Amino acid sequence: MAKKKFVVGCFDNEEALFPAVKKVRTAGYKIRDVYTPFPVHGLDHAMGLRETSLHTAGFIYGITGTATALGGISWILTYDWPLNIGGKPHFALPAWIPIIFELTVLFAAVGMVYTFCYLCQLAPFVKKHHFHPRATDDLFVMVIECTDKTNVDDLKGFLTSNGAIETDVQVAEEGWWWGRYDKDDEKTLEKKIVAA
Amino acid sequence: MSEQTLDFKEQFEVPSKMKTWSYALIGIGLLAFIIGLFTKGTGTNEEKAIFMGTIMYNTIFWTMVCNAAMFFICATTLAMGGWQITFRRVAEAISTLVPVFGIITLIVLFYIVLTGNHEIYHWLDAKQVAADAILKGKSGFLNVKFFVIWSILAVGLWSLLGWRMRKISSEADIEPMDFNSGNTYVWKNTVTAGLFIVWFALTVGSTLPWLWLMSIDAHWYSTMYSWYVFASTFVAGVALITLWVIYLKNKGYLEYTNQEHLHDLGKFIFAFSIFWTYLWFSQYMLIWYSNQPEETVYFKGRVQGPYKGIFFLNVIINFICPLLILMKRSSKRNYTLMTFMAVLILFGHWIDFYQMVMPGISKDHVSLGWFDFGILALFIGLMIHFVGKALASKPLIAKYNPFLKESIVYHT
């Protein structure tokens, strides 16, 4: 549970956000994340995020489902407990295809949902620090990670000159934690709501 | 948008190489037709039926594939899609072939029907129909008068509504639109596209495949057949659009069409290949499972008879290949791979049409050979010639289309 220092810049529209993201990146700062009220097309490219590997995971889950269904049904119906159903051969592949298909979809879907939740650190009772309460309302919030060498005032000035309407320095928990928001977090939240 | 000037090559010029190719292919096709006419056309009754059947499945396949290009335009128009505008003229050019191939189809089919060729359509033989309770029951639908009228209506209305869609599209070449005229333009497009889709559903989506193709096996029926034919031709139609788009890009046209558009065409090919398989398999599995003699007669010759190889080749080309090759995002964005897949899929669905038609005409002999490929060459040659001409007759991009900006900045 490590705490870290972040510089937060708030923008009030995406037209200001895009050039700012590019400039912050070319200036060599490390953007931790950008929180937006709605999905912004092309922001992932601008931030230089790598392509998600969620679909590769989905393919592996799907293949697992196919193998499970095919292996399970064929073991049961040809080896463990062969039954004569309508005079069909024991290895009645066409009749199994729908079940194989559905198990493939089920494994892929459920597996991908859980993987997505894990990657986004979403789970019941899991808490994460909120950098600005208005990020879910109408504010585009860019969070930049500070290192030992980061000059915070310079960075704040740099953000303001690139269109940030509000800048802030926060020392916050970087990962997730179980339980409630701690006292520090509640205080910053209250202050922000009053200010908004 | 309207203040900016767009910089692109508006006018397509038919390269001399393309002309040479199209004339050469037409020449090969005509040669094959004439040789076929004197060898197969004068042979036994079965050989004559194979001769007519080969021409028939080729012409029906190409008519429906070109008509699928118009379906693509209308479906995306009705869905208020904007992404296809940068290359919509390509699909329009392909759809200009509907009247041409439609008339060839009508001539071939009417020749078969009016000469009473019951080697192909058993329901044409009055004696057999009178002695057969099943054919008698279907005679309200399967008779010459209905066949002729409905076929003319189908091809006529496809051509008419397609012509109207293309005419509306030309209005976007003339002058910039303001909000009101843009609205009217979109509304006109929507109404015509809606009419086309309804007529498409009444013909390709239901009656025409029954009439033209399913009635070759006159006793047999499947309620999924028309959808199966539709899926087959639509996937081939999108593959044809993709091929032309890639060709034009290679020649330096269509500057605003890029990988994003190719990606979506790839998604269409991938998705409708799966949809085709779904229908193909549903039709097969239900018949296999219930195992009724009057239903299995269709698959008997195809799965266990001499057509076995073609039957399974069909599934490998049209399902396994797209599934494994087109699943990855990077392969849908790769021009070389998409060219390969488009050609493969066009060939695969041509084979699909072959195995829909020919086993019903010649049960014991697989006739796939030089004559089939010769007639195919004839149609490819005609297709290249007419699409090239249609592309050259209009600007390649409708530059005042209200959706053009959406299409240019599009990314998936």
Give residue A69's pLDDT.
Answer: 97
Does residue A55 sit at the B interface (CB-CB below 8 Å)? yes
DSSP 8-state code for residue B5? P
Summarize the confidence of residues B374-386 as an average pLDDT: 96
In-domain check, residue B337: no
Give residue A3's pLDDT.
Answer: 81
In-domain check, residue B37: yes
Q: Quick one: pLDDT band at residue B324, thresholds 50, 70, 90?
A: very high
d(CA B310, CA B273): 18
Residues A57 and A44: beta-carbon distance below 8 Å: no
Contact (CB<8Å) A94/B327: no
Residues B256 and B397: beta-carbon distance below 8 Å: yes
For residue A51, the chain B residues in CB contact (below 8 A) are 329
The number of folded domains in chain B is 1
DSSP 8-state code for residue B6? P
Work out the angle at residue B390's Cα, subtended by the Cα atoms of residues B388 and B393, and round it to the nearest 5 degrees: 110
Contact (CB<8Å) A55/B329: yes
Domains in chain A: ranges and CATH: 3-49+125-195 (3.30.70.120), 54-119 (no CATH)
Neighbours of A125 (CB within 10 A): 9
Whether B2 shows a pLDDT value over 50: the answer reads no
Bridge partners of residue A141, in order along the sequence: A10, A35
Does residue A42 sit at the B interface (CB-CB below 8 Å)? yes
Give residue A185's pLDDT.
Answer: 61
Contact (CB<8Å) A94/B285: yes
Q: What is the mean pLDDT of chain B?
A: 93
In-domain check, residue B352: no
Q: Which of residues 263-282 of B touch A (CB under 8 A)?
A: 281
* B139: three-class secondary structure by DSSP: coil
Q: How far is A118 from chain B (nearest CA, A)?
A: 23
In-domain check, residue B360: no
Structural domain span for residue B204: 16-254+368-408
Q: How far is A95 from chain B (nearest CA, A)?
A: 7
Q: How far is B303 from chain A (nearest CA, A)?
A: 13
In-domain check, residue B358: no
Q: How far is B74 from chain A (nearest CA, A)?
A: 27
Inter-axis angle of helices A14-26 and A152-161, nearest 10: 140
pLDDT in tens, B246-291: 999 999 999 999 999 999 999 999 999 999 999 999 999 999 998 8
Contact (CB<8Å) B288/A41: no
pLDDT in tens, A162-183: 989 989 898 888 888 877 776 5
In-domain check, residue B155: yes
Q: How far is A149 from chain B (nearest CA, A)?
A: 38
- Compute CA B272 distance to the chain's CA centroid, rounded to the nearest angstrom: 13
Inter-axis angle of helices B225-250 and B259-290, nearest 10: 160
Work out the angle at residue A129's Cα, subtended by the Cα atoms of residues A128 and A131, and round it to the nearest 5 degrees: 140
d(CA B73, CA B92): 8
For residue A59, the chain B residues in CB contact (below 8 A) are 327
Give residue B170's pLDDT.
Answer: 92
Does residue B324 sit at the A interface (CB-CB below 8 Å)? no
Does residue A59 sit at the B interface (CB-CB below 8 Å)? yes
The minimal CB distance from B288 to the residues A51, A94, A98 is found for A94
The minimal CB distance from B281 to the residues A55, A86, A97 is found for A97
* B11: three-class secondary structure by DSSP: strand
d(CA B357, CA B376): 15
DSSP 8-state code for residue B316? I
Which segments of chain A have a pLDDT < 70? 1, 182-196
In-domain check, residue B142: yes
Does residue B289 sit at the A interface (CB-CB below 8 Å)? yes
Range with the lowest mean pLDDT among A177-186, B94-103, B308-317, B384-393? A177-186
Summarize the confidence of residues B196-225 as an average pLDDT: 93
For residue B281, the chain A residues in CB contact (below 8 A) are 94, 97
For residue B288, the chain A residues in CB contact (below 8 A) are 94
The minimal CB distance from B411 to the residues A42, A55, A59 is found for A42
Nearest CA-CA partner of B100 in B387, B412, B333, B401: B387
Q: How far is A173 from chain B (nearest CA, A)?
A: 35
Residues B207 and B185: beta-carbon distance below 8 Å: no
Helices and strands (DSSP H and E) totals, chain B: 18, 0
* SS3 track for chain A: CCEEEEEEEEECCHHHHHHHHHHHHHCCCEEEEEECCCCCCCHHHHHCCCCCCHHHHHHHHHHHHHHHHHHHHHHHHHHHCCCCCCCCCCCCHHHHHHHHHHHHHHHHHHHHHHHHHHHCCCCCCEEECCCCHHHHCCCEEEEEECCCCCCHHHHHHHHHHCCCCEEEEEEEECCEEECCCCHHHHHHHHHHHHHC
Interface mutation vs chain A, best among B260, B289, B410, most A CBs within 10 Å: B289
Residues A126 and A173: beta-carbon distance below 8 Å: no
DSSP string, B143-201: SHHHHHHHHHHHHHHHHHHHHHHHHHHHGGGTS---HHHHHHHHHHHHHHHHHHHHHHH
DSSP 8-state code for residue B273? H
Between residues A2 and B323, which one has the greater pLDDT? B323
d(CA B225, CA B221): 8
Contact (CB<8Å) B327/A59: yes
How many angstroms separate the Cα of A6 from the Cα of each of A104, A114, A157, B71, B139? 43, 29, 15, 54, 80
Interface mutation vs chain A, best among B277, B281, B323, most A CBs within 10 Å: B281
d(CA A9, CA B349): 56
Whether B110 shows a pLDDT value over 50: the answer reads yes
Q: Which residue carries 């239901």 as its tokens? A: B206
Give residue B299's pLDDT.
Answer: 92
Q: Which two tokens stand for residue B255?
A: 């500057």
Q: Which of residues 66-95 of A touch B (CB under 8 A)?
A: 86-88, 94-95
Contact (CB<8Å) B284/A94: yes
pLDDT in tens, B8-35: 888 899 999 999 999 999 999 999 999 9
Whether B1 shows a pLDDT value over 50: the answer reads no
Nearest CA-CA partner of A170 in A160, A182, A184, A180: A184
Contact (CB<8Å) A86/B291: yes
A50-53: long-range contacts, CB 8 A cutoff, minimum separation 24: A51/B329, A52/A119
For residue A42, the chain B residues in CB contact (below 8 A) are 411
For residue A87, the chain B residues in CB contact (below 8 A) are 291
Burial class (CB in 10 A: 0-12, 13-18, 19+), A177: middle
d(CA B390, CA B71): 18
**b/e for B140-153, b at 16 or more Cβ within 10 A?**
eebeeeebeebbee
Question: What single-letter amino acid sits at A125?
Answer: F
- Compute CA A33 distance to the chain's CA centroid, rounded to the nearest angstrom: 10
Q: How far is B289 from chain A (nearest CA, A)?
A: 7
Contacts of residue B64, Cβ cutoff 8 Å, sequence gap at least 6: B204, B229, B233, B237
B34-39: long-range contacts, CB 8 A cutoff, minimum separation 24: B35/B371, B35/B374, B36/B371, B36/B374, B36/B375
Q: How many A×B Cβ pairs under 8 Å?
A: 19
How much of chain B, in percent, has pLDDT values that exceed 90? 78
The backbone region for B335, taken as left when phi is positive above 0, alpha when psi lies in -120 to 50, beta otherwise, is alpha
Give residue A186's pLDDT.
Answer: 58
pLDDT in tens, B47-90: 899 999 999 999 999 999 999 999 999 999 999 999 999 999 99
Pairing of strands A30-35, A176-178: unpaired
Q: What are the backbone angles phi and psi of residue B357, rounded to the nearest 5°?
A: -95, -55
Q: How far is A179 from chain B (nearest CA, A)?
A: 39
In-domain check, residue B293: no
